[in-house]
Amino acid sequence: MKKKISIGLLLCFSMILSACTTGSGSNISEKKDNTQSSSNGYPIVVKNYDFNKEEKDMEFKETPKRVISTNQTTTELLLDLGLEESMVGTSYRDNPILDNIKEKYDKIPVLSEKYPSKEVVIEKNPDLIIGWKSVFADKALGDVSTWNEKGVNTFIQRNTVGIDNATVENVYKDIEDIGKIFNIKDKTDKYIDEMKSKIDKIQNSIKDVKEPVSVLVMEGSEDNKYTTYGNKSLAADMVAKAGGKNLAKESGSISVEDIVGLNPDVIVLINFENQSKDNKDAEALKNHTALSSVNAIKNDRIIYTPLAEAYAGGARTINGIERLAKGFYPEIIK
């Protein structure tokens, strides 16, 4: 009888011990999973916008793995940050791709010369679409809510939203958010710091300049006219950071007579591949007899600048500011 009781007690004790062990193991496993979830930084929420300029919270539960970049500025930025393995498609190239990332770019499918169709994008099964606000117009991919409801996150570059002035600081913020989204904050922090350092170097070099050069930023348009980039544009902020004074208060059409009246010291002429205008090149300005008295043309101070450098912002922003500064003050900045 005592033997039976002893065996029963032993079995009971074993069952209790087994239950405790199982429960303890389960808790450890849960804690381990929770630790892994929090240690990789997800989920994270990034504030962005829809097509109507309304702020939206974008939640990322993991690193995006199937990204479509719809514009050259975001494409080059992602590639320059080493995110090519996460990209499944690109579109809308305005200028030749930067030499240092061309090999990476060539390995990613180009979905369309301009914006891809909704069907093409759906077929690629993206988890993030990133680009300019214009890609989310009804005639393109449609508003961000349509994609968000499908489980696809969206990211619009701030300088294309049109709420406030477009600035280099907005470019920093975009890069900072990309660092959060892709869990590469150390890399993006360094990237931003290097941009700021280069701008500081330029501004220190020209700090003794008494009178900033006057600048007109424009691109060729139809009927022998040009379109200016006003003081709310990214190009204007880049001009300011390079030590120039932008003469065009507003963006819009400008006539030859108005160019003569403003008489800039320097003209920044924006170019892109899809331009079909006969006055898009610097030579068209130089050969225009009505513009021969303009200081910038008379003194051959035309800075031919790609659109990918001067709009929205990205990997080329600092290159553009350096290009402008050298053109504005060639005797100071070599």
Task: Give residue limits of the domains in the chain.
Answer: 44-167, 206-328
| Alpha carbon of residue 153 to chain centroid | 16
Say how far apart CA 329 and CA 37 lie, in whole Å: 52
Averaged pLDDT for residues 249-262 = 94
CATH no. for 44-167:
3.40.50.1980
Split at pLDDT 50, 70, 90, the class of 220 is: confident
Candidates 3.30.1490.20, 3.30.2010.10, 1.10.3720.10, 3.40.50.1980; CATH matching 206-328:
3.40.50.1980
Averaged pLDDT for residues 22-28 = 38
Q: State the pLDDT at residue 280.
A: 73
- Same fold for the domain at 44-167 and the one at 206-328? yes
Q: Where are the alpha helices (DSSP H) in the chain?
A: 2-39, 72-80, 102-105, 118-123, 144-149, 168-181, 185-205, 234-241, 256-262, 282-286, 295-298, 307-310, 317-328
Question: How confident is the prediction for the chain on average, in pLDDT?
Answer: 89
Q: Summarize the chain as % helix, strand, coil (round to 5).
A: 45, 20, 35
User: Of 313, 320, 319, 316, whose CA–CA distance to 157 is shortest?
Assistant: 313
Say how far apart CA 299 and CA 302 lie, in whole Å: 9
Q: State the pLDDT at residue 281.
A: 77
Split at pLDDT 50, 70, 90, the class of 285 is: confident
User: Of 150, 128, 152, 163, whose CA–CA distance to 51 is shortest?
Assistant: 163
**pTM as predicted:** 0.86
For residue range 28-57, list pLDDT tens digits in order. 333 334 333 445 789 999 999 999 999 999
For residue range 5-15, list pLDDT tens digits in order. 444 444 444 44
